[in-house]
Structure 1
Amino acid sequence: MSDCSEIIKVILTHNKFLVLSHAHPDGDSIGSQLAFASVLRELGKDVLVANQDPIPDKYLFLSGVDGVMTTIPPDYTCDVLAILDTASLKRLGSLAGQLPVKDVVMINIDHHVSNDRFGHIMLVRPERSSTSEIVFELIKAMDIPLTPERAEQLYTGIVTDTGSFRHPNTTFDSFITGASLVKSGADPSRVASALYSANSVSRMRLLGLVLSSIDVVRDVCCLTLTREMVQLSGASMDESEDFVDFPLSLKGVRVGLLFREEGDGQIRISFRSKEEMDVDEIARVFGGGGHESAAGCVIRGELEDVKKAVVREVFKKLEEGKEQSTRS
């Protein structure tokens, strides 16, 4: 079901909450988690917030990040497990194996079209730009004040998931919500400075190495990020979060791909697209998912083999689109 009232009822009638989101946290997962947890604490609830991976440096300006853990304490128990911005439980990474499951109400709040609809209560709205936009609606429904700290957390989530209101998931409501958050105290200049004007030298070196790997075939552009590049630059892998956006800045490119070499033989692929090219369908072929214009997956294998398999599937999808266009 997709009704705020059921979640509000659970919040008001339970006391101990575990708030989680996906591995490799981004602005939306972090912003929505922090704002949701802040509301719970204002209501006097016992709250633990956790993610598999540490908060990336560029989000450390947000209030409450110092309280986010990367593990769940052994034998931890709670009344409610709230999972935000996460399409499937496996996206929790290592935390998926640490979940308290006995006598727990599981809440699923998300905006991914590929959401598995897990949990006892679901607030899944793919038409929303971000999970932060959904949490904003939930807070308004609860008639709880939007403090400047909460407003900035949610504004950051919307800005990052819409690419500063540039991506196709940006809607009229995204702008209205953004304006309301600014009115409530979010500082657009401060957020933009933290997100886009505080790059480290190591990140810029890593970006240079990744851009040098550029490979364009017709309307598909691929970038590759290897572990060697990370070592040479002195950067961390989480500093590459938005590198996948660069391919779409090229004229004529419809699909951008970033292949990131991770440990244990795993390759993380990020997809971006424009002109109504659905990359969520491609990511699902490889066990991933996301949105029509932004998706991802993880494949185990040799880097070059994985690249060939994914690019082959992208071209297959492009050809199908051309055939459908011709028939219509």
Structure 2
Amino acid sequence: MNAPFPETATVDSSRPALTLLIAAPRGFCAGVDRAIEIVERALAKYGAPVYVRHEIVHNRFVVNTLKAKGAVFVEELDEVPDDAPVVFSAHGVPKSVPAEAQRREMLYLDATCPLVSKVHRQAERLIEKDKHILFIGHAGHPEVIGTMGQVPEGSMTLVETVEDVANLPFTEHDELSFLTQTTLSVDDTGKIVAALKERFPQIVAPRAEDICYATSNRQEAVKRIAPASDLVLVIGAPNSSNSLRLVEVAERLGTDARLIQRASDIQREWFEGVGTLGLTAGASAPETLVREVIARISQWREIDEQPVTTAEEKMVFKLPRELAE
């Protein structure tokens, strides 16, 4: 095993020693912080209940914590009373959703991540220039549904894989552009973009990469810890795109990796033969869950915790004006 990190000293204990390489950055990003704070401030300002369309972020612990404070989660706007405040999730929504809220004269707050909103604005500008958009993303993901809902139906085509590129019904004469979901695999997306540019040399790329800084940083951190680890644990939800990508990054480097939601998911037998454990958390997972996982593992193993930092994150996003005071 290639281990570029310090050797762990032998611990005199009935619990076997375990080196814990803990990725940094990990966990909450600025967009998730902002979305959760919007719900909390709305509850403080307007009182319970505050409705939230879709999970505010993809993490059951976060959702249940907000439920306990008075948030009510629904999937569609027609489940929300006209006189109740409603928050749109960090993943973004189709234009039809705020339009319906305005028609009903509802009080609504948009918690869409500003980096997702940036992609929405790019899509609108490209349509104004008569470009057809090839959107790289995962079918059915809320962010994809929200982004495709920013433009007229038929003006955006979803591309999920390199194989999809070969089957696209366009030619080198068509006015094409591409955008991407913000939580994709950096490596996979690079391959799809390369295939698009090879087949359609005229395609217009976004001015800057759409995959968000937090997604890229967390994947880079896993690339650092995985080669030195016997096992990597990723804390995140099974419907969290960025968390699933972290598992894939570790696996592609030849390291066994598992997605867990809580410490209770961990099985002791996973650690047989494991001397070095890598640990990270997706962008929707709070640090509370990281410490919970470490506490559970420390029941069985004597942990030598070694942070592995690959980037410093200082990004902060502004709150909506209604809640900023």
Q: TM-score under structure 1 normalisation?
A: 0.30
Higher helix share: 1
Q: Which of structures 1 and 2 has the larger relative contact order (alpha carbons within 8 angstroms, sep 6+)?
A: 2
Compare CA radii of gyration and give the structure with the larger one: 2
Q: TM-score under structure 2 normalisation?
A: 0.30
